[in-house]
Amino acid sequence: MSQPTPVPPRLTPVTPDEHGHNHCHGHQKSCCSATTEAPSQVLFSEAPSAGARLSRFRIEAMDCPTEQTLIQDKLGKLAGIEQLEFNLVNRILGVRHALPGTEPIVQAIASLGMQAEPLEQGASPASQAPAAKKPWWPLALSGVAAVAAEVIHFGQWAPDWVVALVALVAILSGGLGTYKKGWIALKNRNLNINALMSIAVTGAVLIGQWPEAAMVMFLFTLAELIEAHSLDRARRAIGGLMQLAPDLATVLQADGQWRQQHVKDVALGARVRVRPGERIGLDGEVLSGQSSVDQAPITGESLPVEKSVGDKLFAGTINQAGALEYRVTAAANQSTLARIIHAVEQAQGAKAPTQRFVDRFSRIYTPAVFVVALAVAVIPPLFMSGLWFDWIYRALVLLVVACPCALVISTPVTIVSGLAAAARKGILIKGGVYLEAGHKLDVLALDKTGTLTHGKPVQTDCVVLDPRVADTGPIIAASLAARSDHPVSLAIAQKSEGSLLPVEAFTALAGRGVRGDINGVTYHLGNHRLVEELNLCSPELEARLDQLERQGKTVVLLLDASGPLALFAVADTVKDSSREAIAQLHELGIKTLMLTGDNPHTAEAIAAQVGIDQARGNLLPADKLQAIDDLYAARHRVGMVGDGINDAPALARAEIGFAMAAAGTDTAIETADVALIDDDLRKIPAFIRLSRTTRAILMQNIGLALGIKAIFLAMTFAGMATMWMAVFADMGVSLLVVFNGLRLLSK
């Protein structure tokens, strides 16, 4: 029975929109690939079949797009494979398939020289056993033999066959893995670094350059080992987040007893207790107790935060002073910490513009240099009376120089380090494209309520207008306000210091206020519009209302049939961090604009308090969106900060959308490109500084990689470069750009 022909692989594109957005998450490229930019997802079937399931495998050897491409091509030939999902950072392969078991998948990957270890359902990469360390002695033997071959050859202390034998020991003990991977790559028509090194070392052996071939293979293997350890540091920076939350939590059971449970088994709404010094296992809301909590692992705050009844708790933070009991508000896999981990892992695949450029460049560069090397080996001896050994040697050096490893690796390690550094500061960036694009912003638009202000109005003024209610006016107003759930009414009700009065015939007046009877008298509590409707306004009252509104306050009046009795002003207070954040943005050369649905007077007052350049009021969601479009039309690069559903259109339209994640709605968080975990606006200038540093390091790395290659290409044509010098320089530059990129982890 013939196997069905699979649908040609449909690659999930990673392409930016007109403002650089990249909404298809893939997985980062973490080492050199010469010719292929493999996607994070590959579809082999347009429609999922009945009974299809997802199996996940850890593949320790899968950390390059080269291996990803080999796996993709191999599994694409198996009937029943519908989709592949690659996570190169954690070396995890997801296979959606309709096979009865996973053995065919494991065998297919084994034929590529890689071992696939099935993962348990629901297990995280961090929960799996670490990979076994490779023995160190083969590399040590290779190094000793390579040095011995060079010394014996230089001192002419033994016949050539002894030099060749010692060199062969060095090549085989250190380079068998390289040869194996190189052969697999060549079979799949892929000119990766292993293929290039295999060709170069074999060529050196064939022309009798045994000591140099041995030294080249040893230096290459050593550099790869150092490079792998360096990249693991970036991986550990992400993986370290997974270790923040404890595995167990102390949960109140139905029988009234407290018992420890695995956090993944704790239900929503469960009551959990956490003692001083313990890590909080799940997101929740404090039910009893008071303590200070170290939130630095999640929000990056340097000082502990006081927590009491009603306050939020984050999984992974540390309870310090007193015992707390809290209600679980999110399952373990939906906690703030889990969302950070998931988003950062996904973000590593959203390639930044520089990385996309490097990938395109390397796909053209390596084959071109391979053709040039072939021409160098053949043309001078045939047409210019050159010596065959001399020009073949130069061609082999050229092959070593041709490896784009330093160039390709320079971008992903920098981006991953930047993402990890941002996550530790409580800045959740959803892709490298946004991390890199941050340096371009020149205008930042901000919502007011919940972004610049606390979003919780408080009563600021109480003025009695009629002496008859000098003592009772505030109590009457508070009694009416307590029956409403409007934020302004709540602010007035909370200000009351006496016992509330009973209210009869209570009625809510939509968009205007409330009405009710107290002690047989009908009272109204409402806004300026309600006063106008009741024909109880006057020029004197208009002037007083205008004065308060210009201060950014909302005015509510208490009225009876005779007229206004008292007025109450309510204002949303500005966050202390907002002023400092705006000042830092101005220092970075970024203009600020406030977009709010509040009246223009309030908008201008708040803008003046925090130092914002321009404010626009009375804006609906469509108006905010239009404001962003207007800034684009003026050729600005725009960021938008918000926390509500009404901000979602503008957040999506902006080049970078920033969500206030602690108080923000899920819609705003999902729509935004960057989430601020603790709603601290000062994290936006921190993000922009990190973006600018990331961009600078990317440019430094690319300059180093291309500059060193240009120098050695010139030296090669001049006959001044040797193979081991080329390897030392090329891999040395690779290590240099890796270490340079890792500097971001300390930012």
Active site residues: 447
Answer for the pair 119, 57: CB distance below 8 angstroms, yes or no: yes
Side chain identity at residue 437, one-letter code: A
Looking at residue 332, what DSSP letter applies?
G
What is the sign of the dihedral through the CA atoms of 558, 563, 565 and 568? positive
Count of CA atoms in the C-beta half-sphere (13 A) of 468: 9
Looking at residue 165, what DSSP letter applies?
H
Measured distance CA(193)–CA(200) in Å, rounded: 10
Measured distance CA(281)–CA(508) in Å, rounded: 43
Token pair of 412 as six digits: 């992903």
Beta bridge partners of 318: 279, 294
Answer for the pair 29, 412: CB distance below 8 angstroms, yes or no: yes
Measured distance CA(638)–CA(32) in Å, rounded: 34
Backbone angles phi, psi at 366, to 5 degrees: -65, -50
C-alpha distances out from residue 499 to 459, 478, 522, Å: 18, 9, 19
Answer for the pair 524, 558: CB distance below 8 angstroms, yes or no: yes
Measured distance CA(517)–CA(254) in Å, rounded: 46
Measured distance CA(719)–CA(510) in Å, rounded: 87
Neighbours of 510 (CB within 10 A): 5
Token look-up 């006081």 returns: 306
Residue from 705, 466, 451, 455 nearest 595 by CA:
451
Residue 127: Cβ-neighbour burial (10 angstroms; 0-12, 13-18, 19+): exposed
Measured distance CA(684)–CA(581) in Å, rounded: 8
Measured distance CA(594)–CA(575) in Å, rounded: 15
Neighbours of 291 (CB within 10 A): 21
What is the sign of the dihedral through the CA atoms of 471, 477, 478 and 480? positive
Looking at residue 130, what DSSP letter applies?
P
Answer for the pair 40, 85: CB distance below 8 angstroms, yes or no: yes
Token pair of 91 as six digits: 């070396």
What is the sign of the dihedral through the CA atoms of 443, 421, 283 and 576? negative
Q: Is 543 helix (H, G, I), strand (E, B) or coil?
A: helix
Looking at residue 159, what DSSP letter applies?
-
Which residue stretches of 188-316 are H helix? 193-206, 210-242, 296-299
Measured distance CA(76)–CA(90) in Å, rounded: 22
Measured distance CA(274)–CA(292) in Å, rounded: 12
Token pair of 77 as six digits: 């030939």
Measured distance CA(271)–CA(742) in Å, rounded: 41
Token pair of 391 as six digits: 């020009």
Answer for the pair 745, 420: CB distance below 8 angstroms, yes or no: yes
Token look-up 């034998």 returns: 165
Which residue stretches of 311-352 are H helix? 336-347
Measured distance CA(249)–CA(485) in Å, rounded: 36
Cβ neighbours for 18, distance < 8 A, ≥ 6 positions apart: none
Count of CA atoms in the C-beta half-sphere (13 A) of 477: 33
Answer for the pair 460, 571: CB distance below 8 angstroms, yes or no: yes
